[in-house]
Structure formats: structure tokens, C-alpha cells
């Protein structure tokens, strides 16, 4: 017992020291930002990255006794340091961190692809198939109906005819099927969870990216003639989509082969190689208008399943993983528009809650149809709540394509995504804890989803 008390005191002392360190550095940066408020540039951006890394890491450890995921600490540190609270980091500096976010997303997608095992996916194909159908199609339809039902609460809807607003609701439904691979991987990296829930969630979230991209293009093509009667249903969007998907898969496969060969023959300075790929390949993909997340996910998948270098790749990425996740989510926290969230929070919370409920219903139905074990039936929906980059990208696209109501739609979308971004990781970590998959004991893989046949 005395050893336990000593450990507790040591833990309390360490956290006190961490808190004082965080306050001290924050106070120093507060004084500096007030002394040179107009200073910007590479040095200031580097300072912001360093402070977000420090603040995010310490805040996550201070929140750890509460059982909250580290990701919540990263987000909270970014919110407090951002332009709407302490203003230690202003909007211009946050925008200057976009290259860092590009690198982070590339490594996150590469790691996600490298974690997908083809054998496990085959053995869990029935569960994944039913979940993909329900979580995409059912959520799309139900979320569209939910958005249409709250029409009286939306000021911008008053100027739209019922049919036009149906098109807007369809766009909201498409936005609702997006998930956050980054949040999923961040929680799994922190908890090192193993078992059906962890493996199923990773497989579903990463592979659903392809399905979601197709659904988004379809919804956009169907919504345009509803909103604008002068417009007609065009196949150009699907031609562009085909080019994007084919190019992304082809380039991702080539990139995966290159990485596997490099790991097999050289396997040196891999961190430098990952940095070059993250920045260089992302720039090329942006120029070619390919999907960078899909490309890097395919590359990781190829390394994992078509070579023996998958574990090496994951190990190299994990070396930079802690830094990547801290900076990415702390920057996301700093970029949260708190005044907008405060203005729209009633409708945003309502839409986030309705999406969570729809996701839960879809998970219960798909779990029964696939004959999933109780763990998946109860908790599989929790890993599908978080939203991030893809949802924000769709909101920006809608604002650009439909200027009459696009800004209001984007504002509501950002507010709702912010709620999901904050609540989703907490729910997923709670589910992993309750399912016992964050313990040290080895849990069964996705293949255990299909129970053995009952003897007769």
C-alpha cells in the first residue's frame, strides 16, 4: 500500500510540475505575442508548432486521470491557445500550419493502410459489408430526412422552395456519412487496443473512404438540378470521379511498391523518406487532383499485404506518430471557430445528436443481420461518430458551388463537425475500455466476429 501511495504522490507531483511548466511557457508566449503582435513568418510558425506540441502533450497527460483520450487534450490545448481564447496563436499562424497538417494526414493515411490486414478483412467481410451498406446508405437517407425536419430552425431555408431544400438536405446527408480516419488511428495508437471492436472500426473507417467519395459525388450530382432547376444531371462529375479514383489507386500502388522495395533493400533514414513523401507526393497529388488520403492508404495497404515490410513501416511511422497526432489535433483545436459554434450550437448539437442516433440504429441493424457478437452490436457505432477533414472539404465545396446559401450551410456544418470532433473520440475510447480491448491481454482479431458454428 505504501508503494501505491508513493506512486500516487509521485504522479501528483509530476502533474503539478507539468501544470506549472505549461503555465510558465504559456505566460512567456502571452507576453511575447503582446510585445510583437504583428510578427509572422517561418520562425513564428515554428514557435507555434513547438508550443502546440508541448501544450498538447502536457494537457493530455493532465486529463489522463479522468479517463479522457489524449486527443481531447490535444484539441483542448489548441482551443485555449487559439485566436478565440488566449490568442497565443493567431489565425494567420494557424493557416501557416497547413503544410504540417498535410504531412500529418499523409502519415495517418499511410499508417491506416499499413494496419489493414487482408486476411482479417476477408474473414470479417460479412460484418463489414452489412455495416458499409447500413452506415452509408441508411445514414445518408435518414440524415437527409432529419435535416429536412429541422427546416423551421434554419433561417437560410426560408428563401428556398421545398424541392430546393430537399437538395440541400441531400447534401447534408452526404456530409453525415463521412468519418475521421485520423481520430480513429489516434485513439488506437494511444490505447494500443486489440480485438474485434478495434479491428472492425479501423477496417471500416479506412475502407469506407472509397465508398464515401462515390456517395458524395452522387449526392452532389443529384442535388444540383433540385436546387437549380436550370441545371441538368451531368455525368461530368462521375467522369472526374473515375479519373480521381483510378489515378489515386494506381499511384498509391506504385508508391507502396517503392516503399516496400526501399524498406527491403535500404531501410535507412526512413523518417526523412516519410517527410519527403508526405510533402512531395502530397504536392504532386494536389496538382494531379487525386485523393491524397486514398493514395497513401493504398500505399500502406500494398506494403502490408503484398510484402513482408508492413511491420517495419508501422514501426517507422510510430516513431513520428506521437508528434504527428499532437500537432494535427492541436492545430484543429486552434482552428475551431468558437464564436460560430456559440452562435449555432443549438442546431449544431441537435444535428450531431441526430447523426449519432442514426449511426447507433444502423449499427444495431447491421449487427443483427451480420450476427455480430454482443461487443460489436453494443459499441461499433462509437468509432463512427468523429468527423474531420473530408466533411470540412465537402462543406467548403458546397459553399463554393451554391453561393446563395453556401456560407450558411458551411457555418452550420463546421459547428456540427466541431461537436462530433470533440465528442466522438471520447465515446470511442470509452467503448474500447468497456469492451476490455485496451487491456494488456491479447484479444481476438476481426476473424472472431464470426462465431463458431453451434454443434447440433
pLDDT category at 441 given cuts 50, 70, 90 is very low
Nearest to 181 by CA among 341, 324, 293, 317: 293
pLDDT value at residue 38: 58
- For residue 442, what pLDDT is reported? 40
Distances (CA, A) of 407 to 33, 267, 368, 404: 31, 48, 40, 8
Work out the average pLDDT over 215-237: 76
Lowest mean pLDDT among 123-127, 232-236, 339-343, 390-394: 232-236
pLDDT score of 201: 93
Q: DSSP for 132-195?
A: HHIIIIIHHHHHHHHHHHTGGG-GGGGGS-HHHHHHHHHHHHHHHT---HHHHHHHHHHHT--S
| pLDDT band, residue 197 (cuts 50/70/90) | very high
CA 383 to chain centre: 10
Q: How far is it, in rounded angstroms, from Cα 374 to Cα 441?
A: 19
Judge whether residue 249 has pLDDT over 50. Answer: yes
The region of weakest confidence among 41-45, 220-224, 412-416 is: 41-45
How does DSSP assign 30-79, residue by residue? HHHHHHSTT--SHHHHHHHHHHHHHHHHHHHHHHGGGT--HHHHHHHHHH
The domain segmentation of the chain, as residue ranges, is 2-96, 100-449
Evaluate if residue 295 carries a pLDDT over 70: yes
Q: Which element (helix H / strand E) includes 225?
A: helix 196-227
CA–CA separation, 40 and 62 (whole Å): 31
- Measured from the Cβ of residue 228, the count of other Cβ atoms closer than 10 Å reads 14
Q: What angle do CA 131, 132, 136 make, to 5 degrees?
A: 110
Sign, CA dihedral 313-210-200-125, equals negative
- Within 8 A by CB and 6+ apart from 395, the residues are 175, 409, 410, 413, 414, 417
State residue 426 phi and psi, 5-degree precision.
Answer: -65, -45
Examine the pLDDT at 152 and tell me if it is beyond 80: yes
Is the Cβ–Cβ distance between 48 and 335 less than 8 Å? no
Residue-wise pLDDT tens digits, 92-120:
888 777 777 777 878 888 888 888 888 88
pLDDT for residue 258? 93
| 100-449 has CATH 3.40.50.300 classification | no
Mean pLDDT of the region 275-289: 82
pLDDT at 271 over 70: yes
- Rounded mean pLDDT of the chain? 83
Amino acid at each position: 500500500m505504501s508503494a501505491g501511495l508513493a506512486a500516487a504522490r509521485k504522479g501528483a507531483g509530476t502533474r503539478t510540475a507539468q501544470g506549472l511548466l505549461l503555465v510558465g511557457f504559456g505566460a512567456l508566449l502571452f507576453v511575447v505575442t503582446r510585445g510583437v503582435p504583428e510578427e509572422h513568418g517561418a520562425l513564428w510558425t515554428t514557435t507555434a508548432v513547438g508550443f502546440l506540441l508541448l501544450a498538447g502533450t502536457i494537457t493530455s497527460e493532465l486529463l489522463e486521470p479522468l479517463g479522457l483520450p489524449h486527443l481531447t487534450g490535444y484539441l483542448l490545448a489548441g482551443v485555449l491557445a487559439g485566436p478565440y481564447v488566449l490568442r497565443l496563436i493567431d489565425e494567420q499562424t494557424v493557416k501557416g500550419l497547413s503544410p504540417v497538417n498535410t504531412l500529418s494526414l499523409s502519415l495517418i493515411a499511410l499508417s491506416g493502410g499499413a494496419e489493414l490486414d487482408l486476411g482479417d478483412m476477408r474473414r470479417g467481410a460479412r460484418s463489414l459489408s452489412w455495416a458499409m451498406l447500413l452506415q452509408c446508405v441508411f445514414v445518408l437517407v435518414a440524415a437527409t430526412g432529419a435535416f429536412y425536419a429541422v427546416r423551421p430552425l434554419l433561417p437560410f431555408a426560408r428563401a428556398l422552395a421545398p424541392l430546393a431544400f430537399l437538395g440541400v438536405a441531400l447534401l447534408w446527408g452526404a456530409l453525415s456519412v463521412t468519418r475521421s480516419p485520423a481520430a480513429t488511428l489516434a485513439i488506437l495508437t494511444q490505447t494500443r487496443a486489440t480485438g474485434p471492436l478495434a479491428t472492425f472500426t479501423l477496417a471500416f473507417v479506412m475502407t469506407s473512404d472509397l465508398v464515401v467519395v462515390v456517395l458524395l459525388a452522387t449526392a452532389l450530382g443529384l442535388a444540383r438540378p433540385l436546387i437549380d432547376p436550370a441545371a441538368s444531371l451531368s455525368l461530368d462529375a462521375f467522369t472526374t470521379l473515375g479519373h480521381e479514383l483510378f489515378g489515386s489507386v494506381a499511384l498509391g500502388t506504385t508508391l507502396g511498391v517503392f516503399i516496400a522495395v526501399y524498406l527491403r533493400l535500404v531501410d535507412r533514414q526512413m523518417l526523412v523518406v516519410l517527410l519527403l513523401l508526405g510533402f512531395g507526393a502530397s504536392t504532386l497529388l494536389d496538382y494531379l487532383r487525386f485523393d491524397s488520403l486514398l493514395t497513401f492508404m493504398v500505399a500502406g495497404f500494398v506494403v502490408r499485404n503484398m510484402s513482408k515490410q508492413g511491420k517495419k513501416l508501422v514501426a517507422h511511422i510510430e516513431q513520428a506518430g506521437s508528434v504527428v497526432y499532437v500537432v494535427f489535433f492541436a492545430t484543429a483545436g486552434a482552428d475551431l471557430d468558437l464564436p460560430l459554434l456559440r452562435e449555432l450550437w443549438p442546431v449544431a448539437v441537435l444535428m450531431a445528436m441526430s447523426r449519432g442516433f442514426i449511426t447507433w440504429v444502423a449499427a444495431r441493424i447491421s449487427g443483427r443481420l451480420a450476427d455480430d457478437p454482443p461487443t460489436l452490436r453494443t459499441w461499433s457505432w462509437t468509432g463512427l461518430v468523429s468527423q474531420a477533414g473530408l466533411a470540412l472539404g465537402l462543406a467548403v465545396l458546397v459553399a463554393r458551388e451554391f453561393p446563395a446559401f453556401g456560407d450558411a450551410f458551411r457555418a452550420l456544418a463546421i459547428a456540427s463537425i466541431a461537436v462530433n470532433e470533440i465528442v466522438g473520440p471520447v465515446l470511442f475510447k470509452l467503448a474500447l475500455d468497456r469492451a476490455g480491448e485496451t487491456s494488456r491481454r491479447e484479444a481476438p482479431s476481426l476473424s472472431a466476429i464470426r462465431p463458431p458454428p453451434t454443434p447440433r
